[in-house]
Structure 1
Amino acid sequence: MTRRRRRRGSPPAPPPPPPLENDDLLREILLRIPPQPSSLPRASAVCKRWRCAAVDPKFVARFRAHHGKPPLLGFFQRRDDIVFAPVLAAPDRVPPERFDLRIRVTDSEAHLLGCRHGRVLVFDVARAEVVVCDPITGERRRVAVPPELKTGHVNGAVLCADRGQEHVHGGCRSSPFKVVLVFMRSHDQRPLACVYSSETDTWGHLIPTEAPHPGSACCGGAQSILVGNVHCWPLRHAKDGMLQFDLDRQSLDVIETPPGMNVPRNHQIVQAEDGTLGLAILSHHYHNIQMWQRKVNCQGVATWVPWKTTEMHDILGLSPPTEVVKRGVELILGYDQDANEMLLYLDGTVYIVQLKSMQSRKL
């Protein structure tokens, strides 16, 4: 028996790393890093072992489930084209060209209808099609709308159709989706809805409201809010109420709204803390934000009740009001339902206000 001598001066070979499957401690550490866009990529640059853990699909799904709702990366808006506007600072800021939908408004009249579950919905008026875009992969799917929807004002929403208990919204690009379109029939001013399913590649039948609602223009370009499995849009003339489409019941209703919604762009449909339908109304003279909640009493009757009122000077991070703001130059630009944050335009500045903590930050 001979012994192989090690060459003098050469270090012994390092022991092999433990199998990744057994490295539970590393996964637990990575699971607790902040859910910012740069967190996992920076962690994966540490070494090969960390990279294998950070990009593992099972770990990524667990990471999403652990942190819940992701931070707001930005929002899409219609300018000369439909563009992405980032809201985070470096190193988490996503460049606008990274999410280029390649939809040019100059080439075709296009309306941005909304974003949800990783997809963007655009209505191409000239081609009478809806375009479902995945900004991550650049994939686009065009679907011709029913003939009845080719005239009149149309609004809509896109959502993931996977309702499995194990599914976590965020990585929905391989999941089926649904498109809900609502519009106002021109000859009788009656709101109607129609649902498209990517699984069957078909539109369902037209769904009207129980009674005509004349004098209400449809939705006014606002993005829908999804409460449970019910989509809600404000009608263009706010005093006329809001549209409510129940996906489970396949029903469309017009519901009344509380007082104070007669000023354009001073109100926003939100989700209340208990998951029910809510409303945020910005006072016309920079005084406060009034929050309302829709409650169902023991007789099954739904009514609006005051939820809470927050004075503007109590919102942390807002600049003191100027005379211009006091005269009513304030707008609600939008609402991020995942983070429960509202975008306010006040005195030439855009703020993001967190509705639970009532803290704000300037963009």
Structure 2
Amino acid sequence: MPPTTAHRRRRRRSPRPRPRRIPRSPAQLVEDTVGEILLRLPPNDPASLVRASAVCKTWRRALADPTFPARYRAFHRTPPVLGIFWGDAVLVPTTSFRPPAADHSDCNVLDCRHGRVLLENPSGGLFVWDPITGDLRRLPPVPDIFSLVCNGAVLCAAGARCDHLACHGDAFLVALVGAGIDGVVHACHYSSETGAWSALTFALIEYIYLPPDHSNTTCITVDNVPAALVGDALYFIGDFGNEILRYDLVGENLGVVDPPDVETCYDGVVVMPEENGRLGFAFVKANSLHLWLMETGPDGFGRWEKRRVIDLETLFPVFNLSPYLTGFVDAINCIVMTTDDAVYTIELESLLTRKVCKTEKPYCCCLYTSFYIPTCASGVLPASVANGD
């Protein structure tokens, strides 16, 4: 059967030419490879980027590429622990990072979060400090009722819109929770965008702690433990873990959440964010780490469920007595624990335990986490390596 006209057309149709691939030059291939290598330098050793910039011009060009810092942070995702604060505002480095020269030793550290540090001067005044840039912002006077700040938190104002890997210099919020008498606590927050404090909000706690030397006074306490940021709310520990204070940053209201029904534990209690925006609760008892999770019941109300119990003696090569739960760092999803001689972080998912540093002051530390990319990797080469090959 003779082929039809359509068949003839198909036979005569020439194949579509493939787009011509322009080969990259050997120099471009080398720079691409160098860039991939430099991305893999460990973020917990910022000095390695400086040393790499002194190797040759090709390496310096790769590090000076304006896109390198964002690619570097996106590749590693988890910021390193650059240093630790022992109560006062003197950063003890745990890496090669050294903050710009600044003396804030007369201040106490209330919180570290999203690359910022909240400082309190005992003689009066609150400050927000960025150790990476050296920027120090003094906040307006707090309401008179905060004659003594019991706890506070600093956080990026962008919330879920920011990945918090490089939010230095952006807008921030500072929340304060203060103790009161007759079972009353109060809270408010400051916005760097408005430059003002919000209205005060109050909550009544039924449980009253009576100090032995103040039998005629009923008062409560707010523990100096890092707050947990879950969604738009901050959770603070009150009365040695007997109460959890929930401060809603959007609704500007303060409420009370009952903790799990467990005995009071004096070896440390923390609250922490969990997956799917849930609240976690942890405490140490008898050398074991107890983890609880807030679940929503069929009636729509939250109820605590025991998640697991971890034997701490299995996590440490040589177990030290008196483990104390110091806090939780949401940037690295780690529990912070001190022992007789060191500070450790424990990843909750993998249970990987890392020694951060030796202990200087028991039960009082605050870890500072952030990416630090020296100027040689941010588009400006240090004078010491700018000349020569």
In structure 2, the partner of 1:251 is 253
Q: Which residue of the partner structure matches residue 221 of structure 1?
A: 224
Tell me which structure has the larger Cα radius of gyration.
2
Please show how residues 142-157 of structure 1 align to structure 2 within 5 Å: 142-157=138-153
Code of the aligned partner of 1:119: R
Are 1:243 and 1:255, in contact at CA under 8 Å, matched by a contact in 2? yes
**1:156 CA drift (Å):** 0.8
- Asked if structure 2 preserves the Cα contact closer than 8 Å seen for 1:191 and 1:213, the reply is no
| SS of corresponding position for 2:336 | strand
Pairing 1:1-363 to 2, within 5 Å after superposition: 26-38=34-46, 39-78=48-87, 81-87=88-94, 92-95=95-98, 98=99, 101-105=102-106, 110-127=107-124, 129-163=125-159, 165=161, 167-186=162-181, 188-209=182-203, 211-213=204-206, 215=208, 217-239=220-242, 241-260=243-262, 262-283=264-285, 285-286=286-287, 288-315=288-315, 317-320=316-319, 325=321, 329-362=322-355, 363=357
Hey, what's the Cα distance between the residues in 2 that align with 1:290 and 1:234? 16
Give the CA deviation at 1:160: 1.1
In structure 2, the CA distance between the partners of 1:117 and 1:55, relative to structure 1 (3 Å rule), is farther
Distance in 1 (CA, whole Å) between partners of 2:138 and 2:81 is 27
**1:208, CA displacement in angstroms?**
2.0
How far apart, CA to CA, are the structure 2 residues paired with 1:172 and 1:349?
31
Q: Secondary structure at the match of 2:112?
A: strand
Which has the bigger relative contact order, CA under 8 A and spacing at least 6? 2
| Identical aligned residues as a percent | 32
Question: TM-score normalized by structure 1?
Answer: 0.78
Q: Residues of 2 paired with 1:183 and 1:45: CA distance?
A: 51
Query: Which digits, 9 at most, give the CA deviation of each residue in 1:190-247, with x for residues without a partner?
Result: 22211111111111111223x45462634221121212222111113322x1111122
Report Cα offsets for 1:161-217 as digits up to 9, x if no partner. Answer: 13474x43132222111111111234x4322211111111111111223x4546263
Judged with a 3 Å threshold, the aligned counterparts in structure 2 of structure 1 residues 59 and 244 are, in CA distance, closer, same or farther, namely same
Instruction: List runs of 5+ in structure 1 lacking aligned partners.
Output: 1-14
Partners of 1:119 and 1:135 within 8 A in 2: yes
How many residue pairs match? The answer is 321
Distance, in Å, in 1 between the alignment partners of 2:65 and 2:344 is 36
Structure 1 pair 275–150 and aligned structure 2 pair: CA distance change class (3 A): closer
How far residue 66 of structure 1 moved from its aligned partner, in angstroms, is: 2.8
Distance 2:39 2:298 in 1: 43
User: Cα–Cα, structure 1 residues 259 and 69, in superposed 2: closer, same or farther, change >3 Å?
Assistant: same
TM-score by length of 2: 0.73
Unaligned runs of 5+ in 2: 1-24, 210-219, 358-389
1:113 deviates by: 0.9
Kindly indicate whether the alpha-carbon contact (under 8 Å) linking 2:159 and 2:232 is maintained by their aligned counterparts in 1: no
